Amino acid sequence: MSITVTTWSLEQTSPADQRPAAVPEGDIRVVRAEVPSPEFSRFLYTAVGGDVRWTDRLGMTYAEWEKWLGRPGVETWVAYDRGTPAGYVELEAQEGGSVEIVYFGLIPAFRGRRIGGHLLSYGVARAWDLGERRPELGRTERVWLHTCSKDGPHAMDNYLRRGFRLFDTKTAEESDVAAPGPWPGAGV
């Protein structure tokens, strides 16, 4: 069985495009995971994407996670609510001054609490200043991402509110896979 999936690509081409969200009330902090940890990154990936069919990294080995996380210009920024991981944003520096927001999202229990807009705003700002932390990568000229019709219902609106503009739309047929949850049987 297959489903039709629409993928939208969005970008900012200047730091002036940023439209930050308000900082939510409470003890919400965003911290960079500076030590590459395949275990922690896989936890974030499955906890955030398990209910929206993120499956592309499920088959990655420990060594593949290590290699990915150790690449220059790959950064993971984690939102914490009173010390508990609530979501994350993963950045990847690319050729020509582009930085992709490769993954972004919240663990389901933290959605709808205004953390997502703040985390995205913070991640976008870190994408724009990535060259300051890693001068060998050069200055960021563009921040981009893609989202699709399998993502949460508020994803596209959040990106547009943060100042992203649509630059491409594609539609394709994909195999319809069950949402795996953060571990087999979760969320059932």
Tell me: the pLDDT tens digits for 127-152?
A: 999 999 999 999 999 999 999 998 88
Query: Is the per-residue pLDDT at 188 higher than 60?
Result: no
At residue 187, the pLDDT reads 56
How much of the chain, in percent, has pLDDT values that exceed 70? 97
- Beta strand segments in 38-126, E: 74-81, 84-93, 98-106
Task: For residue range 58-69, list pLDDT tens digits in order.
Answer: 999 999 999 999
With cut-offs at 50, 70 and 90, classify the pLDDT of residue 5: very high
Written as one letter, the residue type at 28 is: I
> Quick one: residue 26, left, alpha or beta (phi over 0 = left, psi -120 to 50 = alpha)?
left
Contacts of 112 (CB under 8 A, 6+ apart): none
Closest CA to 90 of 16, 12, 145: 145
Element (H, E) at 12: strand 2-12
